[in-house]
Structure 1
Amino acid sequence: MKKTTQLKNMLQSNNLEFIMEAHNGLSAKIVENTGFKGIWASGLSISAALGVRDNNEASWTQVLEVIEFMSDTTNIPILLDGDTGYGNFNNMRRLVRKLEQRGIAGVCIEDKLFPKTNSFINSEAQPLADIDEFCGKIQAAKDAQTDPDFVVVARVEAFIAGWGLDEALKRAEAYRLAGADAILMHSKKSNASEIKAFMDAWGDRHPVIIVPTKYYSTPTTHFTEWGVSLVIWANHNVRAAITAMEETTKQIFEDQSLMNVEGSVASVGHIFELQGANELKEAEKKYLPTYGQEMNAIILAASRGLQLGDLTEDIPKTMLKVNGEPILHTMVSQFNAIGIKDITVVRGYKREMIDLPNVKMLDNIDFEQTKDLDSLIVASKEIRGTTVIAYGDILFKSYVLNELLNDDNDITIVVDAHVAKEGRNPRDFIYANQHCNRKDFSQKVILEKMSPKIPVEKAFGEFVGLWKVTETGASIILSHYEKVKDIAISGKWQINDFFNSLLEKNDVYIKYIDGSWLDVDDIVDLQKAEEIK
């Protein structure tokens, strides 16, 4: 059903209907998700969100841009608070045409003079528009519309300006006869006496809209009894947002920390949800080239990184920033860049700090007592097809990943032929059937052993924490795990133990590199990490 038809049906319904204020695309989406059937695009709220006064300081084209975003992100009708129509009858005609082009269901105009002043600011000093001139503006709007269901609402400011019931009735009837689809009767009183008096005298001759901002304590059942058609909750989203932002900003300013606010604000993931990130993921599958889309990746990011001391007291080391971006985010971006969109992260320490769009999250609850192999086991169901597996604390140049994916062996690990110096943390050194030969581009190197106990001077290289399996390799890995899981689980084995046991009946191939990566284990590594781009 067209948005215009939806709004018109609400006005003509036998039930009392409600619409809720929104002031940008995000708030409009929230209104729709909550269950409201329509949106009030509030002039006050949009002005406030733009940081200007509600005195037509935002031009009508700027307002139009805001509500276009609101319309694009929602499927329910929007009634625009169109102030006075932004000028005379000619401005009104152009406004209606532009609103229809953007899928806006209707516009509400008020019988004050341009530029308007908000109704709650020195309201009795505000002059009202000439009735005949305002009726001409309504007629111009109705003549300009091409959709017969487009709604034009006439807002009567007689009570606001202190002119009384007779003037309110006179104006409302004139606007009805001029073609308005509904009358919005406004009041600034703290009780609904003016509204009740009008409804009693009006006699249900035409749909009436009210805005109970000031008389909020009046029971909603009264509005139904009086014959009101539509209630606008006019500005509470922007007011709630201001309160929340002021409180959160003050808390962060005083604490110089996020600790006391992180649990009380929306997650970044929820923002992505409201933005429709999942729809984009599905669209990418349909429209982007297929390279990489049959691949997936697993990132093992459960550890804290104790050697980094206070730096990882509040965040896992995978979230430490290098070149202005968390290590994990850099890795995900590298996978995305080559078409790998199906990514799983295994979290552990401070897992609530890891929340990325379009990335599946799994948790290793026993991360303090277990090893990286246990984190991999948590994600065992994600080892399927061509799967890239990486430690969550490594950085590597993009060509390293391309080299790995171009290898056609079923199980391939990346090994740095430039062996790490002694005195550093224990590394997974390797023996192989061949040393790295840069001149042999077809070199087939098979792993013979992986262990931190291999003397550095005898090591052929160092495992960098990045490897790949094909669909066949995935089956080999999972089948072997079933055979050794009684020994492997609960922190008894490292990844290297698993590889060594795998080698008894299966080949694991090596892709040599020479530098171009870093395992961020301590402060020295973090300082060097800026060079890995």
Structure 2
Amino acid sequence: MSSTPGLSTTKQFRNLLLSDQLEFICEAHNGLSAKIVQEAGFKGIWASGLSISAQFGVRDNNEASWTQVLETLEFMSDATTIPILLDGDTGYGNFNNMQRLVRKLEQRKIAAVCIEDKLFPKTNSFIKGDAQPMADMHEFCGKIKAGKDAQSDPNFSIIARVESFICGWGLAEALRRAEAYRQAGADGILIHSALAVPDEILAFKQEWGNRCPVVIVPTKYYATPTDVFRQHNFSIVIWANHLLRSSVTAMQKTARTLKEQEHLLSIEDKVAPVSEIFRLQNAAELQEAEDRYLPRGAEDTCAIVLAASRGSELGELTEHQPKTMVKIQGTPILTHIADAYNAVGIKDIVVVRGYKKETVNLPNLTYVDNDEYAETGELASLLKALQSRKGRAQHTIVSYGDVLFNKYIPQSLCQESDDCVIFIDSNWREQSRYSRLGGFAECSIPNSRRAFNAKVYLKQLGNKIPESNTHGVWMGFLKVSPAAATLITTIITELLAQPGNRKATIPQLLQELLKRQQPIRVLYTVGHWLDINNLEDVVQAGEF
């Protein structure tokens, strides 16, 4: 970056204007090109009127309104830290418009504006320049004075662009006007010429001397060695429209190639990668800000769906496919589950297969196989899934392949920061037929108004809790942090090392966590889920 830390952009530009060496600024026409100019090492940006109007697809005749130009400038200013000199055409009107323009430029941290002594609406200097009328000199001086009176930052600069050579009025008129503009308060003079040689501007500079800084735009006399400009003590050289023109050439070539060849092979390696666009857009900054300011969402969360068992209670429906592939309203249960996770932004979904695993083949899911599904239980499947995620520091939601749920469930789990979080349905009497073995829960606080703003934790889980102490039924959802995932991987490994635990369940894992005094946060709900255990549930699921 070429900006000077601690210096305002107006002060940076004033330093360029008064520098004892030749300085260079480069054209930009939007936020992206402005950032490219700064990254190239330039100390300033020329916000070209030609280029800004061209990127809108309109002529350089004030067809783009000054407020549209301001909006573009705001993006350019936000994207950079180096000074921007606006090509302000004729000031977009009279002295009153000029004053409002200066105030609005200062609000957007634009360092300077250049205005030209022609009539509004302007015409580009290189289109029949010698036929264009010039502004009244005294009226233009008033516009300069009005702009200087309007500025609040003493370092804001106004550059007066003299068009005498362009309009065919000659050296004497150029000098007369430049001196009048200097006395009116202009901070610098931009002397313009449409000749292919620098004769006019060199003649002007020789007569002008060093009364105030002189800025030039060598678009037409581009073959002139830069040392000539140094020798004549010019202040700033503007490369005025070359980023726009080079981008047009590149876009035309790419468009023709795509039309002719109808594939990307010949151009993909010749254009900037999408990652470079993201870098210029500063996408990484947004990610850091999201991590800092937003509640934890689904971006760093994966889901594990345990779907290895057959589900023999559904009879013929699972003769050739596992329960998770049974269709509800024409769509497999697993698809409904994946859609609910996707709806909250969880795209990383791991499915543990077992029975008839070849039939579990939905797209965009990651599969882990438990070929010993008949002899093992839920924890064996969960261990395989966790081991497949080794090295990925993600939050994980574990659920079953035969439990339907609304997106409210994973959404709520993602927003909690505790290491272990479960969902409990407090309407446990109605839902008790869906409880898995040992799924009844006693919690620190029953579901009530008092629990609404309190943190509730699991006290015990099992099938022997007295009815008076039962606060709900576990719904089959467990969210764990990366640290907790490491812990439960260790616990599952220890449990499965004991022959009697081959078919251990997640409720047993939760009980083991409680024994080790690992807090398990409880979220209460009523409904929002359906455990499909029999044919009646399949019918009911059609209305879920």
**For the structure 1 residues 398 and 183, does the alpha-carbon distance in structure 2 shift closer, same or farther, using more than 3 Å as the test?**
same
Equivalent-residue separation in structure 1 for 2:109 and 2:252 (angstroms): 34
Equivalent-residue separation in structure 2 for 1:385 and 1:114 (angstroms): 61
For 2:232, the aligned partner's letter is: W
Equivalent-residue separation in structure 2 for 1:66 and 1:503 (angstroms): 71
* Secondary structure, aligned partner of 2:125: coil
Deviation (angstroms), 1:83: 0.4
Does the 8 Å CA contact 1:411/1:508 hold for their aligned counterparts? no
* Structure 1 match to 2:179: 173
Do residues 440 (structure 1) and 402 (structure 2) align? no
For 1:283, the aligned partner's letter is: A
Does the 8 Å CA contact 1:400/1:513 hold for their aligned counterparts? no
* Structure 2 match to 1:4: 10
Deviation (angstroms), 1:504: 8.7
Do residues 85 (structure 1) and 91 (structure 2) align? yes
Deviation (angstroms), 1:289: 2.1
* Structure 2 match to 1:326: none
**For the structure 1 residues 253 and 385, does the alpha-carbon distance in structure 2 shift closer, same or farther, using more than 3 Å as the test?**
closer
* Structure 2 match to 1:210: 216
Deviation (angstroms), 1:513: 7.3
Does the 8 Å CA contact 2:386/2:489 hold for their aligned counterparts? no
1:79-158 superposed matches below 5 A = 79-158=85-164
Equivalent-residue separation in structure 2 for 1:403 and 1:151 (angstroms): 55
* Structure 2 match to 1:250: 256
Deviation (angstroms), 1:219: 1.6
1:193-208 superposed matches below 5 A = 193-208=199-214
Do residues 40 (structure 1) and 61 (structure 2) align? no
Equivalent-residue separation in structure 2 for 1:158 and 1:376 (angstroms): 77
Does the 8 Å CA contact 2:187/2:213 hold for their aligned counterparts? yes
Deviation (angstroms), 1:84: 0.6
The Cα offsets for residues 466-495 of structure 1, whole Å up to 9 and x where unpaired, read as 9977524336659999xxxxxxxxxxxxxx
| Residue from 474, 479, 483 that aligns with 1:471 | 483
* Structure 1 match to 2:391: 381
Rg larger for: 2
Equivalent-residue separation in structure 2 for 1:207 and 1:128 (angstroms): 22
The Cα offsets for residues 201-260 of structure 1, whole Å up to 9 and x where unpaired, read as 211221111111111121222211110111111111111121122112222222222232
Give the alignment's Cα RMSD to 1 decimal. 4.3
For 1:90, the aligned partner's letter is: N
**For the structure 1 residues 506 and 37, does the alpha-carbon distance in structure 2 shift closer, same or farther, using more than 3 Å as the test?**
farther
**For the structure 1 residues 110 and 261, does the alpha-carbon distance in structure 2 shift closer, same or farther, using more than 3 Å as the test?**
same
* Structure 2 match to 1:273: 279
For 1:54, the aligned partner's letter is: D
Equivalent-residue separation in structure 1 for 2:37 and 2:214 (angstroms): 22
The Cα offsets for residues 336-356 of structure 1, whole Å up to 9 and x where unpaired, read as 946x79x999xxxxxxxxxxx
TM-score (structure 2 length as normaliser): 0.62
For 2:63, the aligned partner's letter is: E
For 1:60, the aligned partner's letter is: W
* Secondary structure, aligned partner of 2:159: strand
Equivalent-residue separation in structure 2 for 1:219 and 1:25 (angstroms): 31
Deviation (angstroms), 1:148: 0.8
For 1:125, the aligned partner's letter is: A
Does the 8 Å CA contact 1:19/1:39 hold for their aligned counterparts? yes
For 1:104, the aligned partner's letter is: I
* Structure 2 match to 1:16: 22
* Secondary structure, aligned partner of 2:245: helix
For 1:190, the aligned partner's letter is: A
Number of aligned residue pairs: give it.
Answer: 388
For 1:474, the aligned partner's letter is: T
* Secondary structure, aligned partner of 1:15: coil
The Cα offsets for residues 166-187 of structure 1, whole Å up to 9 and x where unpaired, read as 2221211111111100000111
Equivalent-residue separation in structure 1 for 2:419 and 2:148 (angstroms): 71
For 2:77, the aligned partner's letter is: S
**For the structure 1 residues 438 and 12, does the alpha-carbon distance in structure 2 shift closer, same or farther, using more than 3 Å as the test?**
farther
Equivalent-residue separation in structure 2 for 1:284 and 1:195 (angstroms): 53
For 2:228, the aligned partner's letter is: H
For 1:84, the aligned partner's letter is: T
The Cα offsets for residues 331-373 of structure 1, whole Å up to 9 and x where unpaired, read as 99967946x79x999xxxxxxxxxxxxxxxxxxxxxxxxxxx9
Does the 8 Å CA contact 1:23/1:46 hold for their aligned counterparts? yes
Deviation (angstroms), 1:268: 2.4
Does the 8 Å CA contact 1:404/1:468 hold for their aligned counterparts? no
Equivalent-residue separation in structure 2 for 1:107 and 1:333 (angstroms): 55
Equivalent-residue separation in structure 2 for 1:474 and 1:410 (angstroms): 12
For 1:127, the aligned partner's letter is: P
TM-score (structure 1 length as normaliser): 0.63
Does the 8 Å CA contact 2:85/2:112 hold for their aligned counterparts? yes
Equivalent-residue separation in structure 1 for 2:31 and 2:349 (angstroms): 30
Equivalent-residue separation in structure 2 for 1:378 and 1:159 (angstroms): 74
Deviation (angstroms), 1:404: 8.5
The Cα offsets for residues 39-91 of structure 1, whole Å up to 9 and x where unpaired, read as 11100001001111001111111111111121122211111101011111111
* Secondary structure, aligned partner of 1:205: coil
**For the structure 1 residues 378 and 187, does the alpha-carbon distance in structure 2 shift closer, same or farther, using more than 3 Å as the test?**
farther
The percentage of counterpart residues that share the same residue type is: 54
* Secondary structure, aligned partner of 2:215: strand
* Structure 2 match to 1:424: none
Equivalent-residue separation in structure 2 for 1:47 and 1:81 (angstroms): 11
